Amino acid sequence: MKTILINFGNSFFVRNFLRTDALPILRSAGYIRIVLLAPAEKIEYYKKEFPYPELVFGALPNTKNFLVERFFRFLETASVHTHTATMIRRYDFVRSRGGKFLATRLWLAVLRRACWELGRFRWWRKCIRRVYFLFPSATFREAFLIYKPDLVYCPTMLYHDMRIVKEAKKAGIKTLGMILSWDNLYSKSLIRVHPDRLLVHTELARKQAEKFGDYPPERVQVTGIAQYDRYFTKKDIIPREDFMRDIGADPHKKLIVYGTSGKGSLWIDLDILGIVAEEIKKQSFGEPFELLLRAHPRYDLPAHKLEFIRNQYHFLAIPSTKHLGGGQNDWEFDEEKTAFLANTLAHADIIISMYSTFFIEAAVFDRPLIGIAFDGEKKRPYWDSAVRFFEWDHLKEIRELKGIWHVRSRAELVDAINAYLKNPALYCEGRARMKEVQSQYTDGKSAERVARCMIGLLKEGNSV
């Protein structure tokens, strides 16, 4: 029996791995046990969701308050030498998060700037990794002793998750890492510890891992995006009329989906929704439509705000995720909400957002895309504005593919909606390029590639 030990702290892993073909492929091998270290408060839920004999659940140790981890997280993120990192640093300074005194803000700004300048040099990045690796830690020692893993898999390669990779390598255990999302290497990670193998979604991410993370390209495998497999195979897609009735919409009307991008732009999103509602009253659109609000899963709107949107604007507003208890990480992608997302994308006639991966998912289904590049009726400072988002590196990459209609005013938003309602083929060539570049594989077998890589590593020797 071979054992894979996996640590995860939020539901993205559940959607990206446990609810894909990767899990049944590993289970069918017949000789693999999977140990999942999860937040203690969610273990009983996961046991009910995945009641398989090959799965063992344990409590995830808390490393978030360790001073050493906090220091190296700061050092790592401050040393990411990209335009995105510069913009985030300036935003933090201007917005004065946490109400810091000016002297403290200035000192931190100078320190971050110095790290950013040093971050362009390979020797500096290598120094961060080497010094971090030298610091002793034994947070996962008990888990290693109890479960005796043959492979440790880290599905995010972010922040405190680096600790388990470091400890596993020191213990001679084989390690595998996965870059979680398309923006991580532009703003969050230098790959502080190099696992024995690294999985990335796309060829773009492979180049980023080599450039910013100094990761050897021969040890990288491009897998595609496992959670998109169900999109390409049309799993759980139901007839449009059934979906529209399920969400309380008129099946004879077009469906526009508005996807919020995160808490950093929510107040602008709400202003834009108000504009659309006003233009509906003014009969500015060539044909009637339903509007469905799709909140970002990590920042799903509470029930009272969804109710306000339903009553104030007469829009459809349905929770994006299942919620367990309370707290910041109470959200979960269960099968119902995962299928709901797939059908939302499949049956939308237009999708509007500001800076979300929703653009990429919608391009998979060739849905017309509108990018919000203005702030509603209010004039906002640049660092609070929607204008800044597509200056980030990863968003600039998709902007250049010309698959999104960026609107910079109320009038342009109305024009874009009307034009797409008449001709959904507008910008379709750009959307095809987005799907090709940002999805990499369209065969519905990305999760299988992840599982096959794990099986292959189990057959190899010890950590390198």
Residues 172 and 319 in one domain: no
Residues 221 and 254 in one domain: no
| Cβ-Cβ contacts under 8 Å for 245 (sequence gap 6 or more) | 251
Residues 277 and 368 in one domain: yes
pLDDT above 80: residue 461: no
pLDDT above 60: residue 99: no
Residues 342 and 199 in one domain: no
- DSSP line for 80-147: --SHHHHHHHHHHHHHTGGG--HHHHHHHHHHHHHHHHHTTSHHHHHHHHHHHHHS---TTHHHHHHH
Residues 92 and 159 in one domain: no
CATH number at 392 reads 3.40.50.12580
pLDDT (0 to 100) of residue 97: 52
* Total domains in the fold of the chain: 3
The percent of residues in the chain predicted with pLDDT above 90, rounded, is 83
Kind of pairing between the strands at 322-323 and 331-332 = antiparallel
**Residue where the block lists tokens 């390598």:** 169
Residues 382 and 306 in one domain: yes
For residue 76, being part of any structural domain is answered with no
For residue 316, being part of any structural domain is answered with yes
Residues 301 and 332 in one domain: yes
For residue 74, being part of any structural domain is answered with no
For residue 167, being part of any structural domain is answered with yes
Q: What type of residue is 375? A: D
- DSSP line for 141-180: HHHHHHH--SEEEESS--GGGHHHHHHHHHTT-EEEEE--
For residue 239, being part of any structural domain is answered with yes
The model's pTM: 0.93
Residues 274 and 348 in one domain: yes
pLDDT in tens, 129-142: 999 999 999 999 99
Residue 98 phi/psi, 5-degree rounding, is 80, 5
For residue 98, being part of any structural domain is answered with yes
Residues 178 and 244 in one domain: no
Residue 435, domain extent: 235-439
pLDDT in tens, 155-205: 999 987 899 999 999 999 999 999 999 999 999 999 999 999 999 999 999
Residues 268 and 398 in one domain: yes
CATH number at 205 reads 3.40.50.2000
Residues 165 and 246 in one domain: no
pLDDT (0 to 100) of residue 222: 98
Residues 194 and 305 in one domain: no
CA–CA gap between residue 156 and residue 39 (Å, rounded) = 15
For residue 119, being part of any structural domain is answered with no
For residue 162, being part of any structural domain is answered with yes
What is the number of H-type helices and E-type strands within the chain?
21, 15
